[in-house]
Amino acid sequence: MNSATKPWIKSEQKLGFRAANLSFLFGGLGVVCGIIQAGAAARLLASLLHVQRGGISASLAGLVFALAVLARAGLQLRNERGNFELGAAARRRLRGQVLSALLALGPAGLRGRHSAELAASAVDRVEAMDGFHARWVPATGMAIIGPGLIGLVALLLDWRSGLILIIAGLFVPFAMAVAGIGAGIAAKKQFLAMTRLQVRFMDRIRGISTIVLAGRGEDEARALAGAARELRERTMRVLRVAFLSSTALDLAAAAALILIVVRFAPALHGAHELAPTALFLVLLVPEFFAPLRGFAAVYGDRMAVEAVAEELSTLPDAPAPVPPVDIRSVAAQGVTLAFEHVSYGWDPARPVVEDLSFKVGRGEMLLLTGASGTGKSTIIDLILGFLAPQGGRITINGAVLEDLVPAARTRMLGWIGQKPVIFAGTIEENIRFANPAASEDELKDAIRNAHLEELVAALPQGVRTPLGEGGFGVSGGQAQRIAIARAFLKDAPLLLLDEPTSHLDPAVERDILESLKHLAAGRTVVLATHSTQALDLAKTIGAKRVDLDALRYASWRGAQA
């Protein structure tokens, strides 16, 4: 186990044991009912086999047995439901932590990580923790409470038999620990195989048209089959190692039963005063090992945690809430954005943005121009808060960007990128995503301002027409208009446009720019583009311009000098 994951696993164990107090209580009561049940059954069997001298009647023993069975069944049912809730609560907590961490990282922090890998973290790895909290934690507590209570009763009745049970019980966790080392390694490899299969499958589904047109369908099908076969083999190895602990438990239980039967063999032949006690101790053997058997059955869940902890424990913590006294916001009337000697680079030796300063106020547009790789999208990411400046500072109405309340910063920012995200759902749902509480009139105004009325009127269900994932069912220009309508509905005072027309034909681009011109009125706008039509539009409204090519050239000349 990685030393970095140990504190995380210990923390989860503490939370799990603290939440499972009621489960341990009801489980302990169930063990007591099991002891009473075994005692009543021993008395009943002694009466039926005529090996009892005196004692309670068979009818009374049968009544106690029946009551103990009913009480135990009720306690087990309650425990099953309670344990399920423990797992569900842990999953909700962990999934919230994972999603908060992914949101805290933002698009920039998640670069280089495949979406299938992220989905596996939020779904599969969190689901793997369900067994840990819903089964392993309760079973661990009962593996101590159950044998402890039963071993104490056995010691009080016959110390030799009690000692036999305790020694046999101690052998079980030792054997399971030995098997668990291999199970942990196998479980980790299984999760890696599962992630590889998910990544490959999602990539191939996304590129299905390219695969078919290239005639590589059969090759990719064979590759997917190989990945699936590897996952199956890894899963079977986990099960094979896990069965070793079950075998050790069965051997220990059989040995304890044989030794106790041999010890009381004379008492079980004919009428003898020790016969009920002997039968009771024999019946306690399966009761003693039942909690240990339950623990062995879920021991793989503990090993699975070690396989997933490395990834879950390395996710960053969600940002702490800002104390009310430190909350900073900006004035509601207009926004002034300023860069003050800002620098940022993925490689410190080669900054993408270096000592950049500009200021753009309400109703003004700033034009960012330059070839690909000069830092246009990086500047947009810095304003969005996805990246933090490595030098200098960014201010909005004089307030440093990092000091603003995240929710307030989000409300004042509107963004339209090169390829707008269109969710699977209706056109209305996609537009309302920016402002779910918007009225019908506000929705209609946004549709009209984005020039979407013609498209909506041509569809059979209007704004309630469903769209496929990624905007399947609309063209690139129509998807961009939906994004513009979304921005109109949000009505943010600061608008960021990152190459909004880069993939459109000239006629559609002209219409989109006209809508964007209307959207930009009265707002602070930062437009990153190399489009000729966009440059012409910016000139007509007197936009400021930052030529990143010229800045980079000047920086290079300064370095040469």
pLDDT tens digit sequence for 140-188: 899 899 999 999 999 998 888 889 998 888 887 777 666 655 666 666 6
pLDDT in tens, 547-559: 776 665 444 444 4
Query: What pLDDT shows up at residue 111?
Result: 58
Per-residue pLDDT band for 116 (boundaries 50, 70, 90) equals: low
pLDDT higher than threshold 70 for residue 1: no
Question: Helices (H), strands (E): how many in the chain?
Answer: 20, 11
Which of these ranges, 87-101, 174-188, 360-374, 410-424, has the smallest mean pLDDT? 174-188
327-334: average pLDDT? 49
pTM of the model: 0.58
Which of these ranges, 34-48, 62-76, 341-355, 379-393, has the smallest mean pLDDT? 341-355
In angstroms, the CA 108 to CA 93 distance is 25
Q: Where are the beta strands (DSSP E) in 30-81?
A: none
**6-19 and 58-109 helices cross at what angle (nearest 10)?**
140
In angstroms, the CA 301 to CA 10 distance is 15
pLDDT in tens, 224-281: 888 888 888 887 877 766 666 677 778 888 888 888 888 877 765 655 566 778 888 8
CB-based contact 495:366 (threshold 8 Å): no
Query: What pLDDT shows up at residue 503?
Result: 73
Phi–psi pair at 426, nearest 5 degrees: -80, 165
Q: What angle do CA 346, 348, 350 make, to 5 degrees?
A: 80
pLDDT in tens, 346-365: 776 777 888 888 888 888 88
In angstroms, the CA 502 to CA 311 distance is 37
CB-based contact 472:501 (threshold 8 Å): no
